[in-house]
Amino acid sequence: MSNQPPPGYAIIDLGKGYSERFGPVYLDRTNRRLAFQVAEQHLNPVDTCHGGALATFSDAMIVAVWPGAESGQAHTPTITLTTDFFAPAPLGAWVEADVELTRQTRTMLFVQSLMSVDGRRIGRASAIYRNPAKSGEKT
Amino acid sequence: MSNQPPPGYAIIDLGKGYSERFGPVYLDRTNRRLAFQVAEQHLNPVDTCHGGALATFSDAMIVAVWPGAESGQAHTPTITLTTDFFAPAPLGAWVEADVELTRQTRTMLFVQSLMSVDGRRIGRASAIYRNPAKSGEKT
Amino acid sequence: MSNQPPPGYAIIDLGKGYSERFGPVYLDRTNRRLAFQVAEQHLNPVDTCHGGALATFSDAMIVAVWPGAESGQAHTPTITLTTDFFAPAPLGAWVEADVELTRQTRTMLFVQSLMSVDGRRIGRASAIYRNPAKSGEKT
Amino acid sequence: MSNQPPPGYAIIDLGKGYSERFGPVYLDRTNRRLAFQVAEQHLNPVDTCHGGALATFSDAMIVAVWPGAESGQAHTPTITLTTDFFAPAPLGAWVEADVELTRQTRTMLFVQSLMSVDGRRIGRASAIYRNPAKSGEKT
């Protein structure tokens, strides 16, 4: 596969630490999509994308629907994250997540995504994040 | 905090790729506990353990209750993984997961864990893995 | 509110027992939507729809995407069901669920829905059901 | 099976509406256990306990760990509820849930349970409820 992301994506800076470890992630803010390419560092012992890598990518989906979340400038701590795995993603595959902010309350953001490779679904994610409007508070 | 794991743990080889990227993970098979120390590479933009890192660690909990899962010798693909986040884990903290195989069916393994730092709970995880007895099958 | 369902729905027989207890449920198979009206028997102690009622309604969403599921003729046992609650549904409200079969594997059906009242989202559900093609097997 | 609950349980009033529809639920507050007997009104089309009934029972688990939750006097709205189904529960079975308050934050209560019939696990539940200390707030 191409090492270039699908059209419409631009690389996004998710900061240092674990996000830097994960590797490049690409955002298409207009269409609320997030993408990454499965590389050696994302593989599991059977050479497909590690479940933890897809979970990590899923946790980042908030950046597609909440500007500022990527930098921690608008800190949106994850309350709960669920990732379902439909099919393996091979080395080199571009995993794309279509992200939706399904509901915003005073204290919480409900977000979900469907993950695909070449238009074929490989997983889904559902999460609740703290609404940064309340982030001054301790949970 | 000490850079040595709590008593009873031994480092475990979770293989190359994403697990190697994650960093050292420690297993206490007798007590079905898994541990890691929050390092720079696990941090989020606000300098606590990244949700994706705790989700990745949670995905690995199967190794504490299913021998061979760590190597892929007994491949246990994750079907669904949920991680709940109670409190932040700071740099240097030893995160310990008490893991339980709550039920084993012919096709699935139901596993859950409670994660603590110094005996204070910081999160929980719940997952369903494919029973490797069936792993010759395609899902 | 009207005691008639929104246009496009027809009452569906979900069988005896707990479904009969729940009360009438309406299906719009063309648009993969399921609906019910919040009645006295669905209320919680603070007089809004009980979380268990929305969870029960969510469990039934499979019938909108899998013909025969309603009768048990195509038995689709639930493996896991998650319901998130965004906002309360008052007495008399018509709760509509837009249902999607996000992925079908040889052994599992991944289904999710968004629930609304008058177009305002009140919750979501995500579930995995056993694919009845395999239902002769024990899990 | 006996129509009497296992030792240590007393019937609990969960109020009118959907809880009354569900039927009698029994609490052993000392051991944080909740129980009900699978009756005709809980069955699914294949004559085992309906998934919605187990989900409804799971939603009620908060009463085993939070006094006042049953009456709505301490109102604990459910934010998210997940129920996993391990094995069917037959007519007449006493379903017992061992409930644990895994963590309490300023705004949320994290609760989980393991459900058994005659000591054999049939399911588990995990939920987040709003901490009633904050229930004056809108979410």
Q: Which residues of B touch A112 (CB under 8 A)?
A: none
Predicted pLDDT of residue D24? 97
Of B129, B108, B6, B11, which is closest to residue B59 (Cα–Cα)? B129
Q: Name the residue in chain D with its Cα closest to that of C69.
A: D45
Which structure tokens are listed for C88? 């309360």
Q: Which residues of D touch A105 (CB under 8 A)?
A: 138-139
Predicted pLDDT of residue B87? 97
Q: Name the residue in chain A with its Cα closest to that of D138.
A: A106
- Taking an 8 Å cut-off on Cβ atoms, the answer to whether A128 and C84 are in contact is yes
Q: Model confidence at C67, in pLDDT bands (50, 70, 90)?
A: confident
- Taking an 8 Å cut-off on Cβ atoms, the answer to whether A103 and C126 are in contact is no
Q: Name the residue in chain B with its Cα closest to that of C103.
A: B139
ipTM of the complex: 0.94
Helices C51-59, D51-59: inter-axial angle, 10-degree rounding: 160
C-alpha distance from B137 to closest chain C C-alpha (Å): 9
Which residues lie closer than 8 Å to A4 by C-beta, 6 or more apart?
none
> Once rounded to an integer, what is the mean pLDDT over residues C13-24?
94
C-alpha distance from D78 to closest chain C C-alpha (Å): 7
Beta strands at C78-85 and D25-28: parallel, antiparallel or unpaired: unpaired
C-alpha distance from D59 to closest chain C C-alpha (Å): 6
Beta-bridge partners for B12: B25
Q: Which residues of A touch B40 (CB under 8 A)?
A: 16-17
pLDDT at D138 over 60: no
From C87, C103, C112, residue closest to A86, measured CB to CB: C103
C-alpha distance from D60 to closest chain B C-alpha (Å): 20
From C18, C55, C71, residue closest to D41, measured CB to CB: C18
B73-112: pLDDT as tens digits: 889 999 999 999 999 999 999 999 999 999 999 999 999 9
Q: What whole-number distance in Å separates Cα of residue D112 and Cα of residue B58?
A: 17
Q: What whole-number distance in Å separates Cα of residue C1 and Cα of residue D92?
A: 39
D92-105: pLDDT as tens digits: 999 999 999 999 99
pLDDT at A129 over 50: yes
> Once rounded to an integer, what is the mean pLDDT over residues D48-71?
94
From A80, A107, A128, residue closest to D107, measured CB to CB: A107
CB D61 within 8 A of CB D83: no
Predicted pLDDT of residue C134? 60
Q: Which residues of D touch A128 (CB under 8 A)?
A: 79-80, 128
Of A84, A112, B139, which is closest to residue C80 (Cα–Cα)? A84
CB A93 within 8 A of CB A1: yes
Predicted pLDDT of residue D136? 46
| Phi, psi values for residue C47, rounded to 5° | 65, 30
Interface of A with B in 44-73 (CB under 8 A): 44-47, 49-53, 55-60, 71-72
Chains A, B: CB contacts within 8 A come to 142
- Taking an 8 Å cut-off on Cβ atoms, the answer to whether B126 and D84 are in contact is yes
Predicted pLDDT of residue D139? 45
Mutate to test the interface with A, among B25, B38, B50, B57 (most CBs of A within 10 A): B50
C-alpha distance from C112 to closest chain A C-alpha (Å): 10
Which structure tokens are listed for C31? 């648009």
B21-70: pLDDT as tens digits: 999 999 999 999 999 999 999 999 999 999 999 999 999 999 999 988 87
> Is residue D10 classed exposed, middle or buried when 0-12, 13-18 and 19+ CB atoms within 10 A define those classes?
exposed
pTM of the model: 0.95
pLDDT at C70 over 90: no
Positive or negative: CA dihedral A88, A94, A98, A101: positive
- Taking an 8 Å cut-off on Cβ atoms, the answer to whether B124 and D112 are in contact is yes
Reported in sequence order, the residue ranges of B25-119 that DSSP labels E, i.e. its strands, are 25-28, 33-37, 78-85, 94-104, 108-117
Interface of A with D in 87-126 (CB under 8 A): 105-108
C-alpha distance from C30 to closest chain D C-alpha (Å): 24
Mutate to test the interface with B, among D81, D85, D100, D102 (most CBs of B within 10 A): D102
pLDDT at D29 over 70: yes
Q: Which residues of A98-128 are buried (b: 16+ CB within 10 A; e: fewer)?
A: bbbbbbbeebbbbbbbbbbbeeebbbbbbbb
CB A109 within 8 A of CB A67: no
In sequence order, which ranges of chain D are alpha helices (DSSP H)? 18-22, 51-59
Helices A51-59, B51-59: inter-axial angle, 10-degree rounding: 160
C-alpha distance from D31 to closest chain C C-alpha (Å): 23
Q: Which residues of C touch B107 (CB under 8 A)?
A: 107, 137, 139
Q: Which residues of B touch D87 (CB under 8 A)?
A: 103, 105
Which residues lie closer than 8 Å to B127 by C-beta, 6 or more apart?
B58, B59, B61, B62, B78, B79, B80, B81, B82, B110, B111, B112
CB D49 within 8 A of CB D55: no
> Once rounded to an integer, what is the mean pLDDT over residues A28-39?
97
Q: Model confidence at C137, in pLDDT bands (50, 70, 90)?
A: very low
Q: Name the residue in chain B with its Cα closest to that of A15.
A: B45
Q: Using a pLDDT cut of 90, give the percent of chain D over it.
A: 86
